[in-house]
Structure 1
Amino acid sequence: MINPEEIYQLLQKEQWSNIIDILHKNKNEIANEPSLINAAQTFETVFLQKVREYPKDNKDINGVLGLLYVLHHGKFYKLTETNLKKLTIELAERSPFKEAYNYAKQYPDEEICKEIITNYESIVNEIEEARAISHSKSTINWIEVYNRLFELINNPEDVATYFSGPRFINAVREILPYHPDYSQYIQLRGQEGKSTSRRIFYYDILMDIDELTRIRIVDKITSIVKPFLPEKVQAIDMIMGKKVIDNDVISATKTESQADSNPVVFISYSWDDEAHKEWVLNLANKLTTDGVKVILDRYSLTAGKSVPFFIEQSISQAHKILIIFTPNYKLKADKRAGGVGYEYSIMNIDLYKNQTTNEKIIPVLRTGEMKESIPEFMQQFIHLDLRKDENFHISYSDLIREIYNEPAIIQPEIGNKPNFN
């Protein structure tokens, strides 16, 4: 028979999936043993409190929430009514579109559920309106719009405006949450024998949907690009029949000035494995959406380009340098091996010159302990700890503030001496 202490130990370690497994496999024992019932209900309460600390897009946590919901409704384990309500509302906040709506309908009087229901029904109404007018002939020259749009987002050298396949599809999914993600879509195209050329499949995605939704997606993309290429976006708006306000037209000089105001950040990291490379790429993408011009090898380095030249130019151009420390990074840096070794050598020279006034290099600890991941000379500098994905939103807030030189705590101005009389 299972010991309640096992549940408490797993609870302390936040090993939620293992507890779910116990609830499922030992449902009969738990239902008839008061000490186990108490341990299970403690898990419910603690988990549903802790879950608020996890990001809404945490797949592991969302999976546990879904399993717990299935356990209850499959009569494998019965939640208390209070915790069932908390669980259902949490799922409503974390689920996409129709799923969120279905969860929210179970508690329609809760404020968050009212908001989800209203948003869903509003989108459904828009879709119905689009279908109602789809029979009418479009007055927009979509071929010209698309050609201009693709030119707008097809410059790999400009990370702010460039839309890779995943970035384009993520923009589509913000309007159409149930559209396949990038890997699913490319796999589907391959199965159907269709081209996976970006120019072709971007066009197919836009032309396969109703015009109202297509307009919303184009507006979404152009709103991101507009601060950097306002005149080209204005041309697209005019073709689509939008009114262009004179004050909205930004001169080329102003555009360049605005672009210059965006901080430039170079990310130095080692290619440890695919998961680490993906994490770094996701970090670069998030920084880009927050107005940072990121220099990343995977954005810029292609066949035939010089790696040393890229590294030298990147370090020279960057306002800030993020070094993503891992045990493998330290190993390569200490041995001065490969691209990491070359990058570290150049950065070290600058650091030796400016040890007391370093404002350029931001050390980031991703995996391992400080002594095993950060070279000895670098250990003297305060680092940001991004090892725990569940706390990423907090650590990222510290990072983005550091990049923009916007500290969370600002020392107030010195006041006047008090009157002691």
Structure 2
Amino acid sequence: MKTKKQIRNLFLERFEILKCRPNQGFMFNQLYALSLTRDEYKVLIEQILPELEDDGIYTFNNAFFRLTEKGYDNLYINMKTEYDIANIIFDKCREFSLKSNQVVKWNIITEHLRKNLNPKELNLAWLVIDKLCQKEYIKLEPESESMPHCLRLLELGYDYMYDENAILDLSTRIQIIPDGIEIASNEAFNAMWEWIGEQNAPKYLTGSMLYNIILKVNKALPPTYDLFLNKRRKNNESTTRKEWLYEIFKSLSQEQKSSFFNYVESFVNQTAPIIGTLEAIGNWQNNTDVLQFTHVNDTNSALSQSVAAVDKKAEQQEAKMHLSVFISYSWDSESHKQWVLNLADRLCAAGIYVYLDQYDLRMGKDMTRFMENTLNKADRILVIGTPKYKERAMERKKGVGFEYSIISADLMNNLDTDRFIPILRVGPNEDAFPPLLQSRIGAFMDNDDNFDKVFEELVHEIYNMPKVQRPPLGAMPDFLQKNN
């Protein structure tokens, strides 16, 4: 029989395998994947799960294990450094024997990183790549008619790869508040939030870490994050990170705001540790999240409205089983785009977060980065099959071609995955999907008369709550026991 520690680790590994972020997780019926004996399952359910829930590692509701911020921090304490990640990239370049000014396909690099890094490390990797570009070790070449999206090895990178005495320089000084912005303004707060606030921010900070920083400059606050949250709940106040942090920020003096930004900036630049209590949570330098940021030039009134509106929506979503899907499709026609949009609207109404270009891509946005990030973050990928989709996927044309490059690599690396759901819109099946998707069970939405019925089945599948479920096994029948 496995030890209690081994059983505990197997359970926690499910969050790692599924690359869960805070507020993501898996259904109770997925515990079967742990392959435990009856007695081991009993230990898990009666002893280990209650202990982990009491420790705040996960929450459990609607038959769903949801990873908390504390659980996320604890799960990925031992992380690779920026230098480790940079060397993983250079190792892949060595594998292809790249010389100065030669290139390797970008999707080969990204798939190599996805295979070798956990979610936090993967998000840190985008920042590492940005630094390598700034320091001119590498250059990212955009896709063109003659060449796919590539990573080009520059002379400095070549020298580092093959010179044992070369030292890798990733030092950059990041200024989180742009010059000319008043330190006490809403615009300064918003610029800082772009770096540390959103879950895919370059240097994401969990609620407990944010509180430890703000506590350093405002000693009048409750001494612990738990006490602070309990007090707000008792007063029926929001516990959303951006909302409570914004309220405290507005109450600080000019000097306190300046001190707060200094602490945050030292974290972003990975200088000396900020506060002793941060280290108790884990290696504070490693609590990072995704690459790119965009400064938002909100007016004061717009920021206060966004704090109330955007985070209110996020808070409502957190109260639900917040699963997400990415929709991969081709722009066959305006009517087809509208049909996809209608499907996305219906999924949103069913409590499912949808990553869709029509929602998320605006002028100035990086389409490639959007596809890479959201394909990685989404719980399930819905592939809308049409002959045009198959053509563009197989010939690697336009956005569909890039998306399918990622999808096909994922399918080849993990043939048992069920993340990808084919949805037939215009058939037959073999004309609508690339070969890797043709054998997978999907949804038939080629007949609008049956849309509601099929849509309901799709939502059941996304929530991992099939209409027909295997009943629990009963005891041996009495008539068999009597015969014995």
Asked if these proteins are the same fold (TM beyond 0.5), I'd say no
Give me the TM-score of the superposition, normalised by structure 2: 0.35
TM-score normalised to structure 1 length: 0.40
Larger Rg: 1
Of Structure 1 and Structure 2, the greater strand share is in: 2
